[in-house]
Structure 1
Amino acid sequence: MDVSAYVWRDTRRPLWTLALVVPALPFVALLLVAATGSSSGWWLTPVFILGVIPVIDLLIGDDRRNPPEDAVPALQASRYYRWITYLFLPAQFVALVMACAVWTRGPGPAGAVGLVLTAGLVNGIAINTAHELGHKRESVERWLSKIALAPTGYGHFFVEHNRGHHVRVATPEDPASSRLGESYYRFWPRTVLGSLRSAWRLETARHRLRGRTPWSVRNEILHAWAMTVALFAVLTLGFGPGVLPFLLLQAVVGLSVLEAVNYLEHYGLLRQRNAAGRYERVDPRHSWNSDRLTTNVFLFQLQRHSDHHANPLRRYQSLRSFDVSPQLPAGYATMLLVALIPPLWRRMMDHRVLAHYGGDATLANTAPDYPVLTPE
């Protein structure tokens, strides 16, 4: 038996707690505003997430090491890693309550924008925590996933991602798989509306298969949406109706962060059809990956997305990097910003998609108006 399973240690074990820095940032911003008297302190969170992390990502670089398979069972069973994801939620919700209190006191125009971005980024990244929890079999983790989705009102993600996206990923039928030549701004309405419709159809079909109406207390989507309604109602009662615009704005920012991540995860990638006319099985070639250490630590290794799709129950600490997976030129934090600038995005990504398919755009998942040219 390979003795490496007994001597191997997760050298990144203490680093995983850095994921909790994200929901802690609003409290640091509060201290900064109190110390300086300037509402510009509310820009700390967006500057750190979208400015500082990409720089650190670039400086530290990649870490492609994988845990030995003999060590994975013990790694998966360790509750240390689970508690890090659990602790994200109370910090997320306390930060939201604090932000509501600040909003009602009037942080000024610049401070208000910073506050919306702060709450939206924290709750948008919390969707990644919900993503990690929602794939697990344990009922407590699945319920925690819905709770983490409540601040953004994106509870249907719990259904659509698990039962829709994972089935249709890297196909034209998947609203969460972006197409070659499609900008983020064209992708956003298609994925937001398409994912909502798909989630409701999936949940409706599940209930009708069992002879039940979808308007039931057993409806997973209604569970999640009820949590959002209850949360917003409690916050409105506590802070007044003036907090509702803030809650709605930060929710839009949060869901837009999620959809920006969706945009870059499968851009232009396509599963080919086999002789029977069915799509081939999902494999490491169908997701864009990044081995940047910093963003992987902050995002529970979401960037090892190929292994996640191949093994959805595999916990974040044991996800692997594959040589055959297409690699992004930078980590998610950087690429999210690039996605907001379509000419820059296409300059960085289109040639990578085409190279992945040997220059043949007909093998890619392309936008309807993309000029498809086959190699001579």
Structure 2
Amino acid sequence: MMMFLHYLKYFMFHGVGLIALAALVAGGPWISLGLAAVLVFYIVGDGLLGDDTTTPTFKHPTILTVQLWMALPLLALIVFAAVWSFSPDDVLSFGARITELTGYDALSARDATFWGHHVSAVVLTGLMIGIIGTITGHELTHRTWDPVSLLVGRWLLAFSFDTVFSIEHVYGHHRYVSTTEDPATAPRGRNVYFHILASTLKGNVSAWKIEKRRLSRKGQSLWSWHNAVIRGHLMSLLLVAFAFAMGGWQAALFFVACGLWGKALLEIVNYMEHYGMVRNPETPVQPRHSWNTNKRISSWTMFNLTRHSHHHAQGEVPYQDLKPFPEAPMMISGYLTTIVVAMIPPLWHKLMTPKVLDWDRRFASDEERQLAAQANARSGIAALNIDRS
């Protein structure tokens, strides 16, 4: 029975997705209530339910892989419902079918939806693109030996215009994490909003260079179908075309807003996973080079992305086998809570500066302490430059 519950807990993320789907279909204030419910579930749940440090052995990993693949149809349905909620037409008679099946007049509710609830729809849909799309796509695109997982993962990332993540993250970020050469690692003192832009631009440039080297080794043309960067962007453009077909430019722009918010969430997560870390790129990546958290709700619904210290020490390990590393440097709280804090820069720096200084004292090697001192001097944060000798 206990082992069954361990399998079941990772299906919790499907439940979160279904709540979002129901809210988008119900329309009106239900959209904003659905968004509030998801935020409360994560923030309060992580705050009250503590940590999960269990490390069960799963004898049927195929179940967990298929569960990851299920994210693609679920996300596609959520995004369809979101775009439908903002379209002038009843695409595929979706609203009529909902009314026929449930007796709830979804079309009338949609047509009466206040503009503020449409803003909530963008936030909620982007959040689902981040949780169901990016997090699952991250796990699947690490499975470079499995073509099905790679394909599903890249389609999930296409919803946030970020299929290049499958290139830069796996072959760039994991090599250069916590160094000045890594676009996704935020230096000390950086503002999260600047990081979203800087990491996005530099990450795309890095992915292009990585793909260029790969194609050169294989003797294939850069400007061809062999280029995974080009193919990936075309995948995202196809999704925009589908949104346009559903409701014209307003529906297409609505989808683009959702996707860009989903992409921004990824960069916020990058920001908080490695903020202020330093490392010589010639030295091995250790668990100390990532901020970790074992909060129960975040861990169960985000496929142990929370166990980031082990993930970066051994990037090929499937999510269900990641260890909690409770002795690793710890984030402020669970993922949604830490995202909210990161989006308030004065609060972020107030809470993270002591953590960064503690990392320097307790986790850094002698060489890293020298790198940390240089990073502190460049940070512009006075509290990082107080002489503690």
Residue identity matched to 1:63 = D
Residue identity matched to 1:356 = W
Alpha-carbon distance in 1 for matches of 2:273, 2:72: 24
Alpha-carbon distance in 1 for matches of 2:11, 2:125: 20
Structure 1, unpaired ranges of 5+: 1-6, 34-38
On the 8 A contact 1:289/1:327 being kept in 2, the answer is yes
- Counterpart of 1:27 in structure 2 is 21
If the length of structure 1 is used for normalisation, what is the TM-score?
0.88
Alpha-carbon distance in 2 for matches of 1:28, 1:235: 20
- Counterpart of 2:194 in structure 1 is 186
Alpha-carbon distance in 1 for matches of 2:15, 2:31: 16
- Counterpart of 1:113 in structure 2 is 119
Task: Within 5 Å, give how 1:152-171 maps onto structure 2.
Answer: 152-171=160-179
SS at match of 2:323: coil
- Counterpart of 1:90 in structure 2 is 73
If the length of structure 2 is used for normalisation, what is the TM-score?
0.85
SS at match of 1:368: helix
Match among 289, 293, 304 for residue 296 of structure 2: 293
Task: Within 5 Å, give how 1:40-189 maps onto structure 2.
Answer: 40-67=29-56, 71=57, 75=59, 78-105=61-88, 107-125=113-131, 126-136=133-143, 137-189=145-197
On the 8 A contact 1:357/1:363 being kept in 2, the answer is no
Match among 213, 233, 253 for residue 205 of structure 1: 213
Alpha-carbon distance in 2 for matches of 1:366, 1:123: 35
CA distance 1:93–1:209, change in 2 (3 Å)? same
Alpha-carbon distance in 2 for matches of 1:367, 1:224: 39
Q: Supply the RMSD in Å over aligned alpha carbons.
A: 2.1
Q: Which range moved further: 151-160 or 97-106? A: 97-106
SS at match of 2:178: coil
- Alpha-carbon displacement from aligned partner over 1:48-81 (angstroms, at most 9, x marks no partner): 33333110111110122223xxx4xx54x52111
CA distance 1:369–1:243, change in 2 (3 Å)? same
Alpha-carbon distance in 1 for matches of 2:378, 2:298: 33
Alpha-carbon offset, residue 373 of structure 1: 4.8
- Alpha-carbon displacement from aligned partner over 1:321-342 (angstroms, at most 9, x marks no partner): 1244101131111000000011
Task: Within 5 Å, give how 1:273-312 maps onto structure 2.
Answer: 273=280, 279-312=282-315
Alpha-carbon distance in 2 for matches of 1:367, 1:159: 33
SS at match of 1:12: helix
Alpha-carbon offset, residue 191 of structure 1: 0.5
- Counterpart of 2:250 in structure 1 is 242
On the 8 A contact 1:25/1:44 being kept in 2, the answer is no
- Counterpart of 1:344 in structure 2 is 347
Percentage of identical aligned residues: 30
Alpha-carbon distance in 2 for matches of 1:222, 1:162: 17
- Alpha-carbon displacement from aligned partner over 1:220-246 (angstroms, at most 9, x marks no partner): 112211111112112212322221210
Q: Which range moved further: 213-222 or 128-137? A: 213-222
Structure 2, unpaired ranges of 5+: 89-110
Q: Which range moved further: 235-244 or 87-96? A: 235-244
On the 8 A contact 1:181/1:367 being kept in 2, the answer is no
Alpha-carbon offset, residue 8 of structure 1: 9.1
Alpha-carbon distance in 1 for matches of 2:175, 2:377: 20
- Counterpart of 2:263 in structure 1 is 255
Alpha-carbon distance in 1 for matches of 2:24, 2:253: 21
- Alpha-carbon displacement from aligned partner over 1:311-356 (angstroms, at most 9, x marks no partner): 2221111110124410113111100000001111111111111111
Residue identity matched to 1:178 = A
Alpha-carbon distance in 1 for matches of 2:339, 2:196: 13
Alpha-carbon distance in 2 for matches of 1:48, 1:234: 29
Alpha-carbon offset, residue 190 of structure 1: 1.1
Alpha-carbon distance in 2 for matches of 1:260, 1:40: 28
Alpha-carbon offset, residue 95 of structure 1: 1.1
Alpha-carbon distance in 1 for matches of 2:38, 2:338: 12
Alpha-carbon offset, residue 366 of structure 1: 4.9
Alpha-carbon distance in 2 for matches of 1:202, 1:26: 36
Match among 214, 222, 232 for residue 214 of structure 1: 222
- Counterpart of 1:36 in structure 2 is none
Alpha-carbon offset, residue 21 of structure 1: 2.1
- Counterpart of 2:107 in structure 1 is none
Alpha-carbon distance in 2 for matches of 1:65, 1:301: 11
On the 8 A contact 2:25/2:85 being kept in 1, the answer is no
Residue identity matched to 1:152 = S
Say whether 1:230 aligns with 2:230: no
Residue identity matched to 1:93 = A
Residue identity matched to 1:233 = A
- Alpha-carbon displacement from aligned partner over 1:254-279 (angstroms, at most 9, x marks no partner): 001111111110111111x3xxxx53
On the 8 A contact 2:240/2:256 being kept in 1, the answer is no
Residue identity matched to 1:41 = W
Match among 308, 332, 349 for residue 329 of structure 1: 332
